[in-house]
Amino acid sequence: MKVIDHKQPVSQVDNSLFSTDSIKKDFPILERKINGHKLVYLDNAATTQKPQSVIDAISSYYTGFNANVHRGLHTLAEEATSAMERTREKTAAFIGGVKMEEIIFTRNATESINMVATSWGKKNIKQGDRIVITQMEHHANLVPWIMLAKETGAELGYIPIDKNGYLDLSDINKIINPQTKVVALTHMSNVLGTINPVEEIIELAHKNNAYVLVDGAQSAPHLPINVKALDADFYVFSAHKMLGPTGVGVLYAKEEILNDMEPVIFGGEMISHVTFENADWAELPMKHEAGTPNIADIVAFAPALDYLTNIGMDKIRQHEIEITSYGMEELKKLDYIRIFGPDNPLDRGGVISFVDNKIHPHDLAQFLDSKGVAIRAGHHCAQPLVKLLGVPSTARASFYIYNTKDEVDKLVEALKEARRYFVNG
C-alpha cells in the first residue's frame, strides 16, 4: 500500500513560490485592527479566514443564480445545480480522485460522524462488538461512539497516548482485535497537533475486518490527502477550516458502504418514488442529502478548494513545518511556558498548545487579544484529553497559510508582556 509521507525535513522546505505577503492581500479581514493593533489571527484550528474569492462566490450566487438545486428546469435552477455539482467534483478530486457519488455534503464534520454512527453503526454494531477510538479525540469523534456503545451494548476500547503526545501502539494488536467492528481516530489532533499513523492503523483494522473512520477536520486543510491510498472507509472534514464557508461538511465513504447505509434524514430530494405507504431512495449521493442543502456555501467552497490547490498542498505543508518549528523554538526560550505534544515539528501540524505556569489560559487569551493577537483558550472540545495532560485548559496558537514568523514574534512578545503584567507587575 502506498503511504503518503507528510514528514518532510525542515532543511528541505522551499517556500520560494510561497508568498505569504501576497496571500495576505486576498483576505480582507486581516486588515482589521483589534484594540488598536493589526490583527494577528492564530486561531485557525477553530476556523480559518476567507479569501475574497470565497466571499464573492457567496454574493454571486445570491445576486446571479439563486435557485433550488436538482429540481427545476429553468435557467437559474440549472446554473445553481451545475455550480453545486462542480464543488462536489472538486471535492472528490481534492481528496484523491474518488467518485463524485462518494461525496456527501453535510453541515460539518460533526454531522458527518454522527451520520456514520447512527446509520452504519446501528446497523452493524451489536452487543459484544468492540468500538476503538483514541484518547486524543475531539468530542465530535468521541461522544457519538460513546452513545452508540451505550445503546448497543458494545465495548469501547481506547488507543492511549504516551507522555510525548504520540499514540502508544505497543498493545495495538490487543486493542484492535477480531471483536473490533470500527476504529474511529483523528488524523491530526486539534490539541496536540500530532499527525497519527492512520495508514498503519487502517491496515491493521482491515486485517481484523474492522471499518475505519478518519476525522480529517484538522488534516484536510493542511496535508495532501488521498483517501484511496489511505484505504479509509470513511473520511470527514469541514469547509470552514480550509478557507471555505461555515455550514458545509463532507462525508466521504466507499460507494458500497454508502449504498448499504440507510438515510438518517428523510424528506425531499432523497427519494426516487413515494406512495402513501412506502418510499424508495434515490441514487447516491442524493440518498443521503435530504432537503434543500446549504447551496450558497457549498458553491463558495469551490473557490476555497481552488485556492488551496493553486498553492499546492505540499507547499502548504512545507510552510506549516517551517512556521511551527520557528514557533516552538521561540516559545521554548520562555522557561515558564510548557508545550504539549510531539517535540518534533515534523510529527505535528501547525498547532501549539501551551500553558504559562503562573497565568490561567483564559487570562492569557484575553490579554493577548488586547494586543491584537487572537488565540484559543480552553479544553478545545477535548475534555478527556486535556484532563490526561494534567491541566484544566490550555492556550492554543494555530497557524495557516497567511501566518508569518513576524506574527510568531508578536505572539511571543505579547506573552512576555502578559508575564510582566500578571506576575512581575
pLDDT tens digits, one per residue of 172-183 = 999 999 999 999
Whether residue 110 lies inside any domain: the answer is: yes
Of 277, 292, 309, the position where a domain reaches its end is 309
Residue 132 cell numbers, joined: 476503538
The pLDDT value recorded for residue 383 is: 96
Counting the structural domains of the chain, the total is 2
Whether residue 19 lies inside any domain: the answer is: yes
Q: Count other Cβ atoms within 10 Å, centred on residue 317.
A: 19
Backbone angles phi, psi at 51, to 5 degrees: -70, 160
pLDDT for residue 7 is more than 50: no
pLDDT for residue 404 is more than 60: yes
Residues 206 and 324 in one domain: no
Beta bridge partners of 373: 40
Q: Count other Cβ atoms within 10 Å, centred on residue 104.
A: 23
Whether residue 45 lies inside any domain: the answer is: yes
Residues 258 and 174 in one domain: yes
Quote the distance between the C-alpha of residue 164 and its chain's center.
22
Hunting for cell 484538522 — which residue is that? Answer: 218
Residues 290 and 329 in one domain: no
Residues 369 and 355 in one domain: yes
Residues 247 and 138 in one domain: yes
The pLDDT value recorded for residue 86 is: 98
Grade residue 425 by pLDDT with cuts at 50, 70 and 90. Answer: low
Residues 14 and 58 in one domain: no
Whether residue 1 lies inside any domain: the answer is: no
241: CB partners within 8 A, 6+ apart = 44, 45, 46, 47, 48, 217, 218, 220, 221
Of 281, 309, 337, the position where a domain reaches its end is 309
Whether residue 181 lies inside any domain: the answer is: yes
What one-letter code names the amino acid at 162?
Answer: D
Of 258, 280, 309, the position where a domain reaches its end is 309
Residues 144 and 210 in one domain: yes
User: How does strand 211-215 pair with strand 180-186?
Assistant: parallel
CATH number of the domain at 301, please: 3.40.640.10
Residues 43 and 62 in one domain: no
Find the mean pLDDT for residues 102-119.
98
pLDDT for residue 8 is more than 90: no
CATH number of the domain at 30, please: 3.90.1150.10
Q: Count other Cβ atoms within 10 Å, centred on residue 352.
A: 28
Residues 185 and 320 in one domain: no
Residues 286 and 367 in one domain: no
Residues 215 and 345 in one domain: no
- What spatial distance separates the first Cα and last Cα of the chain, rounded to whole Å? 58
The pLDDT value recorded for residue 4 is: 31
> What CA–CA distance (Å, rounded) separates 46 from 141?
16
Whether residue 2 lies inside any domain: the answer is: no
Q: State the residue range of the domain holding 160.
A: 54-309
> What does the pLDDT look like over 318-362, one tens digit per residue?
999 999 999 999 999 999 999 999 999 999 999 999 999 999 999
Averaged pLDDT of the chain = 94
Beta bridge partners of 281: 271
| Active site residue ranges | 381
Residue 347 cell numbers, joined: 510529527
Grade residue 424 by pLDDT with cuts at 50, 70 and 90. Answer: confident
Residues 320 and 239 in one domain: no
Whether residue 4 lies inside any domain: the answer is: no
pLDDT for residue 18 is more than 80: no
pLDDT for residue 16 is more than 50: no
Whether residue 5 lies inside any domain: the answer is: no
Q: Concatenated DSSP letters for 289-350?
A: --S---HHHHHHHHHHHHHHHHH-HHHHHHHHHHHHHHHHHHHHTSTTEEEES-SSGGGB-S
